[in-house]
Structure 1
C-alpha cells in the first residue's frame, strides 16, 4: 500500500521520540508499504517562534509570520529523515515547496490549491521515504505560506489525495477518537468508526484530535483516515463515509473553551447592514461560528456572534472599521464563555434529545446564552465556570461514559 503517516508536535517533541517513530516507520516500510511521512514542528516550537517574533514586533507582517513559523517543521523533517537513515532507509526531507504543495497567497491562513505528485511518486518508486513539512506551502508568487494552526493534518490528507494513497494515518497522543475529552469526562468511550460529518462537527466544536479542514478535505476526496496513538499499538478510529442510520443517536460530546462572544448593539434595522457587518469580517478572514440577531425597539437590532480567541483581535479590528461607517450603539467583547456540543445522527429531529440536552445543562444551574443547531449537532454557549459540570451532566444523560 501507499500510506501517508502524519506525526504531530507532541509525537516528535524530543529526539528520543523521533528515533522511536523512525524505527516504527522502518518496520512498516519493511512490511512492503510505500510511506510518505508528514511531521509538525517539535513540541511547542511554533509557539516559541511566534513569541520571538512578538518580542521584536507584535505587529509584524503576515509574510514574516509565515517565514518564521514555517521553520519549525524544517527542523523536524531534517531530524526525521536523518533518523530514518540511521535505520538503514533511504529518506529525504522536503519543505512544502519541494514537495509540490501549492497554496493561494493568503498568509497565515492559506488555502491549498494542489499537490504535484510527480516528485513524491518518483521518490517512492526509487525506494525513498519522503519526509514532508506539514503546515506550509508555496504561493503563486513564490512566497512561503502557512495553513493555520493544525495545518499539518490538512497537509497529510492533501498529500494522500495528491499521490493516490490507500490510507492516511494521523498519529497523535491518543489512541483514537473518544465520545468526549477526558479532561471533562472521566471514562469516555472509544469509537471504532466515525463518519466524516461527525468528525467535522467534533473538530469544529472543540475536539482537538483532527483539524476541521483536514476532515473536510478527506470527505470531499474520499480519503480514508485512521487516527492512532504514535507510541502505542492500537486499531485507532477509522474516519469514513457514514452508514445509513436513520434513528436519532447521540455519539459524542465536544467542549470548546477557546471562544469569544462579540455583540454589536443598536444596529440600524435596514437592508444590507448584516451584509456590511460580515463583509468586514470576511476582509480579515475571520471564521464565524454562531450568529444571533435580536430585535429591539425603534428600528434597532443587536447582532451577536462567536469567533475563536485566535481570531478575536482581527474581529474587533473589523468591527471598529464598521463603526466608522455605520452608527452603532457599541461593541461588546465577552471572553468568559464556553461552548458545549452534542454530535450524532439526526439529533435535531428528536425533540426528546433537544429536551435532554437543555435539561442536563439546567440541572447544574448553567444558563444557556446562545444556541446553534445542524442536523447532526446541538451547541450551547454557557459561562466557562459551569462548563465542566455541564459536560458531565450531558455525558451522563446520553450514556457517553463507560
Structure 2
C-alpha cells in the first residue's frame, strides 16, 4: 500500500460542490489501495476577504493577530472536507497544523517549518482514516500560531510528504500542470510533461503561481516525487524531477511574471567597503526579501544602490531605511512602484548563447522599458512598467516559439 500526500488549492475547494468532488477523488484513491493525507487551502478567495476585513479596521494589523485570523480559513476547509468524506462512508479526521505536529520558527506571517512530529498522522493512518491537514500553518516553540506566507500550503504538503516518506506528493490546482506561461494571460501556453527542480524553482520564485518556491526547494532537498495536476479532470499533470528532459528541444521552458514589484533606490550611500554589507544585513534582519540589486557610482565618495522588493513591502522597507539612516549615512531613499518583473527560464540557456540578446531585442521591439536586469545560468529577469507586463509576456512567449495551437483550459474561482 502506497502513501500519497495530496494538496488541494483554494479553487479546488472553492464551493461545497467542489469540496464534495475532492472527497470523491480521495475516496477513489483509497479504493485503489492508497493511504491518503490531504492538505487543504482556504476556500476560494476567503483569505483575501479576511485580509480586506483586517485592513478595514487598521492599515497595519499586527502580524500575530493576522496569523490568528488567517488560519481560520483553512480550518473551515478541513472541517467541511472531512464532513464530506464521512458523508460518503470514508472514515476521516481533520487536523490543524499544530495538531498535525508542524512546528515552525517563531516568526509570524512567513515562518519556516523547523520540525514535524508525524506521529499523530501516522496513528490516524494506522486506524484506517484519511487525514485532512490544514495547510499554511503551524505552531512556534512558544505556542504561538504561525503561518508560512501566502502559498504556504504547497510547502506544508511537500514537508509532510518528506516527513512521512510518502511515495508521492500531488499538487492539485485549477490548471492541468505547469505551463510555458500563465494560461490566464497567454491562452496559447503549452503544458510541460516534466520540468527540472531548478527550472521549477526559478519559475516559482519569479512569479509562476502554480507552486510555492519553498515547496519546490523542499522537494528537491528531500527527493520528494512531486507532480502538479488539475483537480477538475483526470489528465496527467507535470512531473517535477531532478533532471530536465529538454522537452522538444526547448532552450527556454517558460515565461514567468510577477506583477507586484517595486524598486527602492538608496542614494548617496558612502562608498565604504562594508556599506553594502551593512545595508542588506539590516534589511535581512527585518525579514525583507530583496531580489535584483544594481549599484551605480554617483560621485567619488558616494554611490546609489537600487534593489527590488515585493510591492507589499515598500512602506516597511522605507521605514526600516529611515530608522537606520544615521548608521548607513545615506542621503535619501525613494521608491518606484507599479512595476512588474518578466523572466525567461530554461536549462537549455546554459549551452545556448544569445538568449539574453533575443529577450532584450524582443522587449525593445515591443517598446518595453527595462529598468533593472538580473541573470543566472538558467534565467534572465527584467523589471518593467506594470502597464507593459502583459504585452511583454505574450511577445516573449511568441519570440521563443512556445505558443501552442490550442488554448489552455483554466477553471476560474466561483
Query: TM class, shorter-chain normalised?
Result: over 0.9
Aligned to 1:176: 177
CA contact (8 A) 2:7 2:38 kept: yes
Measure how far apart 1:330 and its partner are.
1.8
Counterpart mapping for 1:237-386 below 5 A: 237-243=238-244, 249-347=251-349, 350-386=352-388
Measure how far apart 1:244 and its partner are.
7.7
Aligned to 2:130: 129
Measure how far apart 1:346 and its partner are.
4.7
1:15 equivalent to 2:6? Answer no
Measure how far apart 1:26 and its partner are.
0.8
Measure how far apart 1:272 and its partner are.
1.6
- After superposition, the Cα gap between the structure-2 partners of 1:150 and 1:244, relative to the gap in structure 1 and judged at 3 Å, is closer
Q: Deviations over 1:277-317 (max 9, x none)?
A: 11221122111110111111231111001111222232222
* C-alpha distance in 2 between matches for 1:49 and 1:341: 31
Q: Deviations over 1:21-61 (max 9, x none)?
A: 11111111111110001001111111222222233333332
Measure how far apart 1:248 and its partner are.
8.2
Aligned to 1:39: 40
| Secondary structure of 2:253's aligned partner | strand
Measure how far apart 1:388 and its partner are.
2.1
* C-alpha distance in 1 between matches for 2:379 and 2:305: 22
CA contact (8 A) 2:343 2:381 kept: yes
TM-score (norm 2): 0.94
CA contact (8 A) 1:348 1:376 kept: yes
* C-alpha distance in 2 between matches for 1:305 and 1:39: 35
- After superposition, the Cα gap between the structure-2 partners of 1:124 and 1:381, relative to the gap in structure 1 and judged at 3 Å, is same
TM-score (norm 1): 0.96
Aligned to 1:193: 194
| Secondary structure of 2:324's aligned partner | helix
What are structure 1's unaligned runs of at least 5 residues? Answer: none
CA contact (8 A) 2:93 2:130 kept: yes
CA contact (8 A) 1:19 1:83 kept: yes
* C-alpha distance in 2 between matches for 1:16 and 1:243: 37
Q: Over aligned residue pairs, what C-alpha RMSD do you find?
A: 1.6
Paired residue total: 402
* C-alpha distance in 1 between matches for 2:362 and 2:106: 46
Aligned to 2:409: none
| Secondary structure of 1:187's aligned partner | coil
The more displaced of 271-280 and 2-11 is: 271-280
Runs of 4+ in 1 over 4 A off after TM superposition: none
